[in-house]
Every structure is written in C-alpha cells, then in structure tokens.
Chain A
Amino acid sequence: MGTKLKKKGIRVSGFAGPLIAAILVAVIVGFTTDRFWNLGNLNNLSLAVSITALMAIGSTLVIFTGGIDLSIGSMIALITMAMATLIKFEGWPVIAGLLFAVILGAILGAFNGLFSAYLKVPPFVATLAGLSIFKGVAFLFNNGSPIFSIAGNFEVFFYGKLFGIIPLPLIYIAIFYIFFALYMNYSKLGREIYAVGGNEIAAKLSGINVKKVKFTTFVIAGAMAGVASILMASRLNSGSPNYGSGMELSAIAAAVIGGASLLGGRGNIINTLLGALIIIIVQNGLNLNAVPTSMQSITIGIIILIAVLIDMWKTEVAELFKKYFGKEA
C-alpha cells in the first residue's frame, strides 16, 4: 500500500473539489460566450472578485472557529465613510487614511470579539447587532451622503497595474491568500483556530485560550474588511454608507462553497478563494449572456446548495465516481 501516495491523495483532494468546480464553471461559461476568455474580461473578473475575496478571508477564519461574522459588510460602509472624511475634509495624508482604515476595521472586529468571545453573546447575534450599528454610524458622516473624489488619483489602489500588466487587486489577493494559507498551516494560532472549531472543550482542556482565539479571528475579520474598504473606496474614488451592503453574505457564501463547515474546524482558506471565484465567474457568465439579475441571485443560491450537498454526501459522490470512472476521485 502506497502510504505516501495516499497521503498525497488526501492533501490534493482537499483542493480538488472546489478547483475542479471552478475550472468546470469557467469552461462552461467559456462555451456559452466567446467574450469570456478575453484579457479585458479576465481583468474585470480579477477586479470583481478581489473585494469579496479579501473580505472572505476574515469570514472564513471566523467560520473555522465555529462562529460567524455578519457585520463586515456594514464595516465597509463605516470605514469608507470615515476614511473619506479624514482624507478629504480633515486633510489627512492618503497613506495615514489607509492605515486608519485597517486599524478601524480591527477595532470594529474587536468590538464583535468582545461581545461574542468574552461576553458570551452568540456570534450570530453579536455581529447582527454590529451589522446594524456600524451601518448606522456610517450614516452619521457627511449627513449620510456619499463622499466623492476622496483624493486625486485615489483610484490607483484598485485600477493600478504592476509593470503595467498585472492588476493590483490580483497582487493583494495573492499576498493575503498565500500569507493566510501559510499562517493557518504553520502558526500556533492557525492550529488553535482549527482546534477551537473542532472541539471547544477539548481545546480549553488542552490549554488553549479559547476566548482569545475567537477574539483574534474577529479582529482579523475586521482588519480584512478594512483592507477591502480601501479597494471599495478606490473603485469609485468615494465613500458611501451604502457600500458593502450584503457583501458579508457573499463572503460567507464563498467560504461555504469552498467547503468550510459552519460547525467549524474544517475547511481551507485557499478553497474560499476558489469559492469566491466560482461565484464571480458564474455572475460574469450570466452577465455576458445578458441574464437578468433576478436569475443571477437564484443561480448563486443554487450553487450554495449544490456545494453543501456535495460536501454532505461526499462519500456517496466518491462511490458514484468510482463506479462510473473506475477510480477514486
């Protein structure tokens, strides 16, 4: 028996499902329209996926501990407004504004973490409250009106290209996903996040500071929302209290389609990126084929169901695969 081979097989199959799905979706969409495999379109795709993908890193970490964060969409509204106000009206240097965005995100995340990890409010409820509060606060800026033209050239963070070819958002995605993939695998906290999600009691009895771990994931989720806010504000060089609305759900959907278990402990950060890609490619495909928005929303919902169904019936699906293709998936 090839122990090594099998071991590899297990590791590979961790990505295989979502990867195959992403490729499959891309190929199918490619068949329906010749405008899909087109440099301009792919460029648009990478821009479109970037904000959700960056937010989804935080959502995924929270989900790994068995929690959920519903507030990061509202954070985008609050952070873009606060950042725009500081840069445009208070004369902060742009770089300070960017730093502020990330720090404010972390602080908002700490607020979620304080209530859900330390004060025992279930994360669903604590972040539902956060969703409402952050959104409300966002409307306090500029009398609730969007702020346009934050700074000259502010769009560069979203539309800029490295060496004139590679879209910057792609670089951000690469940096953050590679970092967090390594971090989850090779750091103490990464391991502890999975442990807490897998068995909270056992984690506590193994000497893991469960509350701190949960708290930290919320802070990371907030900080990542801060990073996403920068891109969001840069896209239209503006801040708006309506930005980010519903995006927390897209981020959660990306994690779930990528195979993260809402019960915690299982999943892989790279798969979340694949999950986000699947959503965006499908959306893009539907757009290119001029399918109305209503159908798009329905499609995304169906994809979520299919993804979770496959996850739930994995062994049975593998059996079927074996039966028809004669080897293990």
Chain B
Amino acid sequence: MEVEVFWQLKNITMRFPGVIALNDVSLDIYKGEIIGLIGENGSGKSTLIKCLSGINQPQKGEFYCQGKSVKIINSAVSQKLGVSTVYQEFSLVPTLTVTENIFLGRLLKDKKGFVDWRTMHEKTRSILDTMQIDIDENAIICNLSVAEQQLVEITKGYTANGSLMILDEPTTALTTPEIKRLHKLLRKLASTGHTIIYISHRIDTIMKFVDRIAVLKNGMLVGIVDISEITMDKIVKMMSGRQITEHYPKQRNVQDEVILKVENLTTEIGVNGVSFEVRKGEVFGLMGLLGSGRTEIARALFGVDKVTGGKIYFKGKEVKFNNPQQAIEARIAYITENRKTDGLFLNFNGPKNSTTARIKKLFKSKKLHILDLKKELKTYDESNKQLVIEPPLEYKFVSFLSGGNQQKVVISRWLFAEADFFIMDEPTQGIDVGSRIEIYNLINKFTAAGKGVLLISSDHLELLSMSDTIGNLKFGKITSIVDARDAGEKNNTN
C-alpha cells in the first residue's frame, strides 16, 4: 500500500512552568488514515493537540504539512492549514441552529452583501445528507442530544474543509450504537481523503477502529502500533508501563441483606415508576441510553429532584430526602457525572475538597465549633494512602490535578463522609487506565465492606463487568433486571 505523508511532526518540545508536557515528539501522519492517540492523563495528548490547533506554540520542533515547513502561530493559521478540532467540550453555540453554527464566523453573503440564509440552509442540508446524518438543519443545538451535537461539530469541521480532523475524546458521552454511527461516518470521511486524529481513553473502542495507535507517556512518544499488532495488553503496558492482567478486577461480595429498596419511584422529570433492590455488597448497574433517566434516578435518590411518587427504603427504614443534606446524613454518597461542574471546588485544594460533605467532623469539640485544620490535613493524608492521589501535595488547587486524581479527590470526600451507599455516575469518564483500575478496586473494597453501589455508565463493558446486577432502563422505567453475567453473555453474542 502506498502511503503519503501528510503531516510531519519533528522533535516537538513544549515546556510549561515546572513540567515538560511534550518531550521531543516526532510523528508522521499519513493521508487518509485514522490515527489513534492515547496515553494516560497528563501524558501530553491535549498539549499535542493544542500545538496542532495553534493554541500552544512549542518551544522546539517543526511541523511540516505536505512537505512544507509551517509555523502554527495561532488558531487562525491552524484552520487555514485545514486542521479542525472537535474538543471534548463542544464549541457550538447552544442557542443557535445547526446551520448557524456550521457557518458561524464565515457566513455566506449574496451579491448585495446580505446574509444568504437560503444557500447556507441548502448547503447544510446537502452536506448532512451526504454524510447520512439525520438531523434537521433548523434544529436549535441545545435541543439536540449530545451525540447529535457531536455530529454537528464534525460536520462543521468538514464544511470548513478540514483535511486534518482532530477528535478529542469523542465517545465519552455516546452509547454503543452512537459510537458505531460515529465510526462509520469517520471511516467514510477517511476514505474521501480526510485524515483523522482520534484521541480516546477507551482502548477497547479505539483499538477496533483506528489504523494505527500512537502512545504517549510522560510527554514522550513511546511507540506507534499498527492495527495488525494492536492488543489491549500491549497498549496498556505501553501507556502505564506496568502489566495489567485484569482490566476489570471484579470481586463478587453480594450479601443477602437489602440495603436500598426502591418502589415505584416517580419524579416530575425523567423517572416513571422505577422499582429495584440493592443488597449489601452489591453493585447494581443502570444500563440505558443518555437521557433514559439514569442520572434522574440518582438525583431523586439523593434528594436533589423532588420525588412525586413511590417509596425509598434505606437500611430497612422508609426514607424521604427533601435535600442532599438528609441523604448525606443517612450515609448516601453521590459521585456526579461531571466532576468539574458538579463535583469539585476548583478554588480549593484536595483536603478542603474532601471534607465539604461532613465538615462538622472537623470541629474541635462538640461545643467548640472551630475547624481543626491539622486534622483535615491528617485525614486527607490517611485517605491518600488508600487512594494514592498524585501529586499528594495538599496545598495544590485541584484544578491542577489530572482527571483521575480529581475523581479520587471526589471519592475521598465520600469516604470522609462515611457513606454506606455510593451512587456513581460515570465514575471513570475521561480518566486514565491506571486510575480506572484503582477506582474499580475501590468499588471492590466498598462491596467487601458491605456497602451498596449504584453504578451508572455509558461504557457497557465496564458496566457489565463491574456490576452484579443490571437494570435495563428505558424512558425512565426499568424494563428488566438481570444478572450481569447473563447480560454480558447476551451482549457478546449480539
């Protein structure tokens, strides 16, 4: 097969105060290929992308586009060179329509100088049609699902003549069929000569799909693997530098005693008569599409959304939580889907983040309500022994921590709050393999201690592997409850 080198990265080095984010990275990207870029958090993936998109300028190294040396001094230059980047956080304007977003910043005008909406609508329609995307060009972005928004974002890059398309973690919010649809679209783009850099944490999805995988570790390119040689173990080892024999180290610790029982739970938004039981030491997985009511069930259980019908029994007693305070008092933990917007206090360091849910534990005495800050540091150090949050520097704002470490800080909060039941909504979203496995081991620790876990995840493999029982959710209703092992087999045969 004849390959044409499209982009060449030579000795790219990028330093930030105190860290080398990219260390002498050289990489050839071929025309029309889909190249996967993986690495644990902090390995330099995002920085590499930012250099290509003109957001960061490396101190050393050169870029060659089709053999010519190019200087990517800003994002405008990058776009002119045909680089289009789809970030994890979409750059669409939520209140505008699909067409408006696609032509944002380069509106077509007619001869008189007026904006030519008709042509733009027609163009958008025809592009969406050729890409076989079934979205109304007049739809307002915020009314679209996450998956649809992503397709719009890709379409936007495509219409901007993106010859090198970079997708940063495109599958985090997508369900399996949606991922399949995305992959089909990307293949199609690649076959028409577009080159795609595909960044993902999910090795299982990436390895089935890309042509080559470039692995980054600590800012260095540790290897490029061809599709024919890709194995999970090999990549995991390259990424983390350690042998990981089990990706899902599931332990089964289910006891007989029921810890949480939900009967006909109904809320105003999204939950329509849900019933299930979670026993001590059990991981109950909620499987369903985005918007099927997974998060809404979590919110109802935690006293965030108002419960309009049904009953919740916790530790044998009927409970009614009007607010999160009461749920926390009852020893329920809620690890939210989006740790940056709903979980972390980015203005706090690790210790302060870890004590917010039960800060009265820090009181010097029952009468003297003065916070014992030394105790705060000490308990954080102790929980750090269990969680291995790196770097363990307690004064550092959590905004400087990697995704995996941030998630551990969130978990440390609920350990500090002495929770007995953990609601975990996408607990491994956007975090590296090493931290994922550590979080799975924590789940095992919880279940071994007789705690209950309600697991919500879009990652089916994770959900089936780590759960004991699976509740299938559709339109806010649980349609069936099955043993996770049976569900897993069924999933494999499909």
Contact = CB atoms under 8 A, between A and B. Distances in A.
B369 A207 contact: no
Interface string B357-393: 1111001000001110100000000000000000001
Nearest to A261: B347
Nearest to B324: A207
B324 A205 contact: yes
A65 to B, nearest CB: 12
A195 B347 CA distance: 8
A208 B370 contact: no
Contact of A206 (B341, B356, B395): B356
Contacts of A199: 341-347
Contact of A202 (B325, B344, B395): B344
Contacts of B421: none
Interface stretch (A93-101, A172-180, A183-191, A301-309): A183-191
Interface stretch (A3-11, A124-132, A154-162, A221-229): A3-11
Interface string B304-338: 10000000000000000001110111000010100
Where chain A touches its partner, the secondary structure class is helix
Given A10-B395, A188-B359, A266-B347, A207 B371 contact: no
Contacts of B352: 191
Contacts of A204: 304, 324
A194 B352 CA distance: 10
A208 B342 contact: no
Contacts of B369: 187-188
B328 A207 contact: yes
Interface string A1-31: 0010011001100000000000000000000
A208 B302 CA distance: 13
B17 interface: yes
A187 B395 contact: no
A319 interface: yes
Given A3-B393, A10-B395, A186-B370, A202 B17 contact: no
A312 to B, nearest CB: 16
Contact of A187 (B357, B371, B394): B371
B408 interface: no
A171 interface: no
A187 B348 contact: no
A314 to B, nearest CB: 12
A91 B325 CA distance: 48
B347 A197 contact: yes
A202 B345 contact: yes
Contacts of B329: 207
Which of A187, A203, A207 has the most CB atoms of chain B within a 10 A radius of its CB?
A207
Contacts of B348: 194-195, 198
B194 interface: no
A244 interface: no
Interface in A6-59: 6-7, 10-11
Given A186-B371, A191-B352, A205 B342 contact: yes
Contacts, number: 86
B413 interface: yes
A209 B346 CA distance: 19
Given A3-B393, A188-B369, A191-B359, A207 B325 contact: yes
Nearest to B299: A205
Contacts of B373: 185-186
Contacts of B327: 207
Interface residues of A, number: 29
A188 B371 contact: yes
A186 B372 CA distance: 7
A317 to B, nearest CB: 13
Nearest to B396: A10
B85 to A, nearest CB: 24
B134 to A, nearest CB: 33
A315 interface: yes
A203 B360 CA distance: 15
A241 to B, nearest CB: 39
A3 B396 CA distance: 11
Contacts of B345: 194-195, 198-199, 202-203, 265
Given A197-B347, A315-B17, A206 B371 contact: no
A291 interface: no
B399 to A, nearest CB: 10
B343 A202 contact: yes
Contact of B347 (A186, A188, A194, A205): A194
Contacts of B357: 206-207
Contact of B17 (A191, A198, A319): A319
Interface in A286-317: 315
Nearest to A328: B17
Nearest to A205: B324
A140 interface: no
Nearest to A201: B342
A4 to B, nearest CB: 10
Nearest to A183: B370
25 contacts: A6-B395, A7-B395, A10-B395, A186-B370, A188-B359, A188-B371, A194-B348, A195-B356, A198-B346, A198-B347, A199-B341, A199-B346, A201-B341, A201-B342, A202-B343, A202-B345, A205-B342, A206-B324, A207-B323, A207-B324, A207-B328, A207-B357, A266-B347, A315-B17, A319-B17
- Which 7 residue pairs across A and B have the least CB separation, nearest first? A265-B347, A198-B347, A198-B345, A206-B356, A207-B328, A207-B325, A206-B357
Interface of B: 17, 302, 304, 323-325, 327-329, 334, 336, 341-348, 352, 356-360, 363, 369-371, 373, 393-395, 413
Given A202-B342, A265-B346, A266-B347, 4 more contacts: A186-B370, A188-B359, A188-B360, A207-B356
